[in-house]
Amino acid sequence: MTDTGTYIKMSDKLPEHRKIVAAGGDAAWLHICALAYASRNLTDGFIPQDFVPRLSDRKQPAKLAAKLCDVDLWHAPGHDCKRCPQPPAGEYVIHDYLEH
């Protein structure tokens, strides 16, 4: 039996997106890994903060997650984005995950 898994679809413009460029390569890779995690686990874009270090092999994952929040690719609890749900304490939500 072959496990086909789930798939994520990304624009071929992603590497030049202003938020990805602002986040930098290591944070961008963490973002892609988080997209795959959310798809695979059907989380609707929610990522447990404690799980972030397990998503990729990049150094300083908490700092990278903070950068993703700074550029509005992710949101922490208490964010002010009107389009995204509030994550519970201890989680992030990927910006516009359910839109894409």
- CA distances 54 to 10, 11, 18, 21, Å, are 22, 25, 26, 23
Query: Would you state the pLDDT for residue 6?
Result: 83
List the beta strands (DSSP E) in 18-90: 46-48, 74-75
Residue-level pLDDT, tens digit, the chain, 100 residues: 567 788 899 999 999 999 999 999 999 999 999 999 999 999 999 999 999 999 999 999 999 999 999 999 999 999 999 999 999 999 999 999 999 8
Query: Would you state the pLDDT for residue 69?
Result: 98
How many degrees, rounded to 5, is the angle at CA 33 between CA 44 and CA 76? 55
Query: Would you state the pLDDT for residue 4?
Result: 76
Query: Would you state the pLDDT for residue 5?
Result: 80
